[in-house]
Amino acid sequence: MARSRKSDPEHALQAAISMFWKSGYAAVGTRQIEDEAGITRFTLQTSYGGKMALFLMAVDRYLDMFETVAPPVEPDTLDALADWFTFFLAPPVMPECMAYGCFLLNTLIEFGGASSEVNQRASRYYRLLGGRFELALEHLKRLGQLPGDFDVRQGAQLLQSSTIGLNVLIRAANSSEAGRPSIDACRSMIHGWARS
């Protein structure tokens, strides 16, 4: 009854993620999407709902991926938590894009709080980053790996801020390697929490 699609939606979405991740929303044109994602501008409108809709799909998919590599909620040791930061140096997913920092953080800065659609995604991101750090630290405190008077909220906040800064450093330098000093510093801080 209907003609089958020529383009692969999954490949198109992955290409969209790569483009927007690297260049941001405004800097990617619909002609470029045609070329790299393999969909026509017509299809972009009819099947995806336009450039912004595709962009939000890309962000959502990115967050889905991030969910699988977000900080562990129940690490057994401080070391297991500290090890999470080393993932930046050997990313298990989309390693070719990691040099562009965090897609969602880049997006947050580009839109600067002006888009409610983006802001909603930001909430989800914060839950996955700061929220998980908090759960992890609470878990470690329960295990006795952290002092009884350790402030979990502030510890999580610190890890979140540092992770965000780390991603900015990586994007600015176009290299995950640029994050190494920050990563080492974070790991030291976490290990330092054990004593006292």
Partner DNA sequence: CTTCATTCTATCCGTTCGGTTAGTTTAGCT
Partner DNA sequence: AGCTAAACTAACCGAACGGATAGAATGAAG
Write out the residues near its own copies by the rule CB under 8 A: 22-24, 26-27, 100-101, 105-106, 108-110, 112-114, 119, 122, 151, 153-155, 157-158, 160-166, 168-169, 171-174, 181-182, 184-186, 188-189, 195-196
Separation CA 30–CA 49 (nearest Å) = 12
Binding to DNA by CB under 7 A, coded x per residue (else -) over 11-30, reads ---------------x-xxx
Dmax over Cα atoms in the chain, in whole Å? 72
Element (H, E) at 189: helix 180-192
Token pair of 184 as six digits:
């080492």
* Residue 19 interacts with which of its own copies, DNA, none, CB < 5 to 8 Å by class: none
Separation CA 25–CA 192 (nearest Å) = 40
Which lies closer to DNA via its Cβ, residue 46 or residue 120? 46
Q: Closest separation between CB of residue 49 and DNA, Å?
A: 8
* Residues within window 29-58 making contact with DNA, judged by CB under 7 A: 29-32, 39-47, 50-52
Check residue 130 and report its DSSP letter. Answer: I
Which lies closer to DNA via its Cβ, residue 5 or residue 142? 5
What are the φ/ψ torsions at residue 40 (nearest 5 degrees)? -80, 165
Check residue 87 and report its DSSP letter. Answer: G
Contact indicator for 135, 70 with CB cutoff of 8 Å: no
* Residue 91 interacts with which of its own copies, DNA, none, CB < 5 to 8 Å by class: none
Query: Which residues contact DNA (rule: CB under 7 A)?
Result: 1-7, 26, 28-32, 39-47, 50-52
